Amino acid sequence: MSERPEPDYDFTFKGHVVTVENTKTFASGFQKRVIVIDSAKKDDKYKNPVSFTFTKDHCKDLDGIVEGMEVEVKGFFQGREWTDNRTNETRYFCDHVCYRTPRIISGVASK
């Protein structure tokens, strides 16, 4: 049996885990879970915490990932448009959506 080819991801991001949020379930049944990863090195003057979203069945991919681990995530940019009905102002948002378990570079996964 041959392996499926790896998709063309929009990004790869490496860094240490700042936090892993609990899964949030919305009234519609949609689920999402956020991980924050900082790519800054120890001697960098500024931090670079970036949030990444795992959705639906992929929320469980963050089980065992804990603060301080060095990980790599791959994913896609997902943009959306939103218009405020009160002001008619349109805003644009971008999520970093991941569909694979983070690759652990260093650290030990919790059970």
pLDDT one-digit tens code per residue, 1-30: 556 556 688 999 999 999 999 999 999 999
- Hey, what are 75's tokens? 């994913």
Question: Rounded CA gap, 61 and 79, in Å?
Answer: 22
Closest CA relative to residue 55, chosen from 97, 22, 13, 18:
97
pLDDT level of residue 99 (50, 70, 90 thresholds):
confident
Q: What is the mean pLDDT of residues 48-57?
A: 95
The rounded mean pLDDT for the chain is 90
Q: What is the mean pLDDT of residues 103-107?
A: 86
Question: Helix, strand, or coil here: 49?
Answer: strand
Note the helical H segments in 1-111.
Answer: none
Question: Rounded CA gap, 56 and 106, in Å?
Answer: 26
pTM of the model: 0.82
